[in-house]
Amino acid sequence: MPKTIGSISNRHALRSGSAWLACAPPATRRAFLDGLSEGELLALPYLFEFWAFEHQLPPEGDWRTWVILGGRGAGKTRAGAEWVRAMVEGSGPLDAGRARRVALVGETIDQVREVMIFGDSGLLACSPPDRRPAWQATRRRLLWPNGAVAQVFSAHEPEALRGPQFDAAWVDELAKWKKAGATWDMLQFGLRLGAHPQVCATTTPRNVDVLKEILARGSTVVTHAATEANRAYLAESFLSEVRGRYAGTRLGRQELDGVLLEDVEGALWTTKMLEGLRRKAPPPELDRIVVAVDPPVSGHAASDECGIVVAGVRMRGPVQDWRAYVLDDVSLRAGSPLGWARVAVTAMHAWGAERLVAEVNQGGDLVAEMLRQVDATLPYRAVHATRGKLARAEPVAALYEQGRVLHVGQFAELEDQMCRMSLQGYQGRGSPDRVDALVWALHELVLGPSAKAVRPRLRSL
């Protein structure tokens, strides 16, 4: 390994530099640092190719778009900022780089400013003092000492990209933009300066058409990394918490592993469908709330989960106008039947539910006995499965297709199971206990005899 930065003459050596330094004995590391001049020591923190992970460096070749797919905290923002630096900076602070006109595009102007420009891994934090651009707030742009300019754009306003022209662009979190297709199209028309305009797109993957179309193009190159790849710069408590909660789920594979998830063939529910039915605001006043339970066959640590889902319904007008709301998923793997019974009853009281329904095909009288031990006055109804899981789930999936069920918040594990329910059955490991509980709740509220029985009382509403 060379002893001075000046002697690191090729990209491969730079890429292996930090790995060599990290693995070297303390005496070797000290000798390396002592051998650097003052200028080289000052430059070392800003020599990104020396410190970067492989997924943070652009692939070789004649590409048009570089997509960096990564989990949360995988270093995507830093990679995007450093790529912009590499494009606009020349050999000296006032020397021209390969790009002179850059577009910075995020979901909103605020996100571009707070993440891509002023963020901990943004352009200002990454730039050395003698090359640091100045932020011109009134013009929404960055101006480098060498005259290069980066303009800021919001994906909410794709038409703002009509007119300006660029030789480079960095777009962040493309897969979550509501107007992603229109914004991407307008950007492509503006990338018409220089010999070879390029785009760097940093995003956590989502199953959206625009991202899949970009990835399918022959002019696109991709690098990929999970959250764990950047663990040296992340709090251990964060990694422990998110892995403990989301490991093995679709949300975890998307948000932590950075994997683009396609829906299973013949899925009853899709990621896109559920995203379109998500409600961030509290639900309206509900007429009925129930807690539904799908108990495990046995009650020990190795048992399947106990599905426990809270849902409510607003009953106004004819039954076809009713809207159901999934309020909570408190499913768990309890060590004993009494453990899940306590959680179910607690959820019922917390949400003011009027009834608890539980499938008793497996547990029989034991289910009622456990619940009564927790609350002897519990309004409870046992339900029996006379059809298979798929047959019970299909009419519930139809309610979703009609837009009649909304999710109040995000339920990662439940939605993971939902997207694995297909016309060929459940395409996951174990049993879809959370989906079973959801199905029982919506049958109780909208589809089953109990829902029909409450209709007469609605005439007075």
Each residue's pLDDT tens digit, 180-230: 999 999 999 999 999 999 999 999 888 788 998 999 999 999 998 888 888
Please provide the average confidence, as pLDDT, over all residues in the chain.
86
Q: Which of 380-384, 432-436, 447-451 has the lowest mean pLDDT?
A: 447-451
The pLDDT score that the predictor gives to residue 254 is: 78
Q: Which of the given ranges, 248-257, 292-301, 336-345, has the highest pLDDT on average?
A: 336-345
Nearest to 105 by CA among 43, 170, 61, 162: 170
The pLDDT score that the predictor gives to residue 317 is: 78
Report the C-alpha gap between 148 and 88 in whole angstroms: 6
E-only strand ranges, 125-207: 134-136, 141-143, 149-154, 168-172, 198-203
Give yes or no for a contact between 43 and 74, defined as CB atoms under 8 angstroms apart.
Answer: no
The pLDDT score that the predictor gives to residue 4 is: 33
pLDDT, average across residues 431-437: 93
Confidence of residue 461 (pLDDT cuts 50, 70, 90): very low
Nearest to 144 by CA among 92, 89, 81: 89
**Measured CA distances, 173 to 9, 58, 70, 170, 186 (Å):** 34, 18, 10, 10, 17
**Measured CA distances, 97 to 42, 63, 90, 223, 338 (Å):** 21, 18, 4, 24, 68
The pLDDT score that the predictor gives to residue 450 is: 72
Confidence of residue 11 (pLDDT cuts 50, 70, 90): very low
Report the C-alpha gap between 266 and 110 in whole angstroms: 39
User: Per-residue pLDDT tens for 72-99?
Assistant: 888 999 999 999 999 999 988 899 999 9
Give, to the nearest 10 degrees, the angle between helix 365-374 and helix 337-351: 60
First to last CA, the chain: 80
Report the C-alpha gap between 146 and 115 in whole angstroms: 23
Report the C-alpha gap between 397 and 402 in whole angstroms: 9
| Higher per-residue confidence, 33 vs 150 | 150
Give yes or no for a contact between 99 and 91, defined as CB atoms under 8 angstroms apart.
Answer: no
Give yes or no for a contact between 182 and 126, defined as CB atoms under 8 angstroms apart.
Answer: no
| Higher per-residue confidence, 307 vs 41 | 307
Confidence of residue 363 (pLDDT cuts 50, 70, 90): low
Nearest to 168 by CA among 96, 114, 224, 223: 96
The pLDDT score that the predictor gives to residue 248 is: 61
Confidence of residue 302 (pLDDT cuts 50, 70, 90): low
Report the C-alpha gap between 142 and 132 in whole angstroms: 9
- How many residues comprise the chain? 461
Confidence of residue 294 (pLDDT cuts 50, 70, 90): very high
Hey, what are 37's tokens?
């001049």
For residues 112, 116, 119, 121, the Cα torsion angle rounded to the nearest 10 degrees is 170
The pLDDT score that the predictor gives to residue 10 is: 45
Indicate if the pLDDT at residue 452 is higher than 80. Answer: no
Indicate if the pLDDT at residue 299 is higher than 70. Answer: no
| Higher per-residue confidence, 226 vs 46 | 226
**Measured CA distances, 290 to 90, 106, 351 (Å):** 65, 41, 9
pLDDT, average across residues 226-243: 83
pLDDT, average across residues 271-299: 88
The pLDDT score that the predictor gives to residue 280 is: 83
Indicate if the pLDDT at residue 165 is higher than 50. Answer: yes
Indicate if the pLDDT at residue 336 is higher than 90. Answer: no
The pLDDT score that the predictor gives to residue 68 is: 95
Confidence of residue 348 (pLDDT cuts 50, 70, 90): very high
Q: Which of 29-43, 74-88, 125-139, 222-236 has the lowest mean pLDDT?
A: 29-43
Hey, what are 125's tokens?
């934090």
Confidence of residue 37 (pLDDT cuts 50, 70, 90): confident
Report the C-alpha gap between 116 and 105 in whole angstroms: 9
Report the C-alpha gap between 230 and 232 in whole angstroms: 6
Nearest to 106 by CA among 12, 178, 18: 178
Report the C-alpha gap between 292 and 311 in whole angstroms: 8
Residue 276, phi then psi, degrees to nearest 5:
-75, -15
